[in-house]
Copies of this chain bind each other. A is one copy, B any other.
Amino acid sequence: MSKHIFVIGAGRSATDLIEYLLNQATINDWYVTVGDMSLTLAAEKINGHPRGKAIYFDGGSADMRQEFIAQADIVVSLLPPAMHPAVAKVCLQYEKHLVTASYISAEMASFNEEAKEKGLIFLNELGADPGIDHLNVMRGLDKLRADGAKILELRSFCGSLIAPESNNNLWGYKFTWSPMNVIVAGQGAASYLKDGKRKLIPYNRLFTTTDKVVVEGLGEFEAYANRDSYGYIDTYQLEGIQTLLRGTLRQTGYCEGWNAFIRLGMTANDYKIADAETLTYKAWTESFLTLQAGESVEMALARFLDTEIDSDLMKRLLSTGILSEEKIKQENATPAEILYDLLLSRWVFLETDKDMLVMADKIVYEKEGNRYEKTATMAVIGRDHEHTAISQTVGLPAAMGVKLILQGKINHTGVLMPIYPEIYQPILSELEEFGIVFSEKTIAL
């Protein structure tokens, strides 16, 4: 019997997901409905495909959730993470499977028992990161464990960056992905495991506590720690492991620059500057500094940062326009919102730009008394501005997850992560057909 897939969200990360599902629609006998607040956007993605349908869908409307989820066999939610639980509840009500590319929230986790009882699969964290990283890490760990290795350390990194050919600003960064998340990244604290002990890195030290990560063919990157690595000890079944860190990759120099924003106070999102629109960016920057007699704002900034006025750090900071005489455009805005607006105008991901998703994981293990380090790296460059690396790496795994569920190939039920061989093996194999391939190297330590 024909199956019906309901994809909620037709934004940037949906392109490759929808294309994959439509391309495989006839052979698998399924139909794809795409709902979005923009009917035009949804229709563009369907592109007249006979097995596709575009609808206007407002995820915030309880009536619409009821109406369209009831008609589907499986739902893919690309909504903002906070909206997944509302979708999941309707999936429970009508007994529909669910796929997301987002971290499992406490509320999503709470649906586990009921989903199990009803034989439903709520498969989450199946995008790029979280997603492909889980698939490759679990494949690597399971294989090593089957071979009798003892796992000592795991470090797993991912970055949504810009392709070398489009990398033409001093930060090696453009907004290919949720800019506000980049501005407030790391607020709170990062938690990871080091030498058998839990470590906490507060925000004020996050961007100075970085790892160097070399990816063959692409050179050296730096990585800052993700919010919660510690919780993955259980997820990856790594009891007894000494070090476990998940981190975010950036081009070298980015973290030092970003830390300057943090030290200055420009990323704070917990208070508003009432009359921000009366200030230039330069005056705003000056407000975080104390000028000495005869000193320019630029000199005071260099002194504050304990760097030379023509250092790379200063060049990087000035390239963002923080000393420009432009007026701030927002009223009553937080520093983070002001910085967001400024960087949005500087770090533009142009139509002609290509993005790049880079992934690397390192496993240190012991076998027969010897120590080894196995490194797996992967880089995907966007095909074009529509089929970006992020769209491919988020959308394809999620789409393949949908296929596995509809083909009845997943035996687990409940609220799941893609950590089981029945999920990671077929998806990693199929991703290779799309050029998403890890290269591996093992060295003796």
Contacts and interface: CB of A to CB of B under 8 A. Distances in A.
Interface in A293-339: 335
Contacts of A290: 194, 199, 209
Interface stretch (A10-18, A35-43, A139-147, A263-271): A263-271
Interface residues of A, number: 31
Contacts of A197: 283, 286-287
A195 interface: yes
A86 B287 CA distance: 36
A205 interface: yes
A170 interface: no
Interface in A187-243: 187-189, 194-195, 197-205, 209
Given A199-B290, A287-B198, A287-B199, A270 B205 contact: no
A434 interface: no
A416 interface: no
A201 B270 contact: no
A202 B268 contact: yes
A288 B194 CA distance: 11
Contacts of A268: 188-189, 202-203
Given A189-B265, A265-B189, A200 B287 contact: yes
A200 B286 CA distance: 9
B265 A205 contact: yes
Interface of A: 187-189, 194-195, 197-205, 209, 262-265, 268, 270-271, 273, 283, 286-291, 335
Given A205-B263, A205-B265, A288 B187 contact: no
Given A287-B198, A288-B200, A189 B271 contact: yes
Contact of A204 (B201, B204, B270): B204
20 contacts: A187-B270, A188-B268, A189-B268, A189-B271, A189-B335, A197-B287, A199-B288, A200-B265, A200-B287, A200-B288, A200-B335, A201-B265, A201-B288, A202-B264, A203-B265, A203-B268, A204-B204, A204-B263, A205-B263, A209-B290
A145 to B, nearest CB: 26
A198 B335 CA distance: 14
Contacts of A199: 287-290
A202 B199 CA distance: 25
B287 A188 contact: no
A195 B293 CA distance: 11
Nearest to A228: B271
B291 A195 contact: yes
A300 to B, nearest CB: 12
A374 to B, nearest CB: 24
Nearest to A263: B204
A358 to B, nearest CB: 26
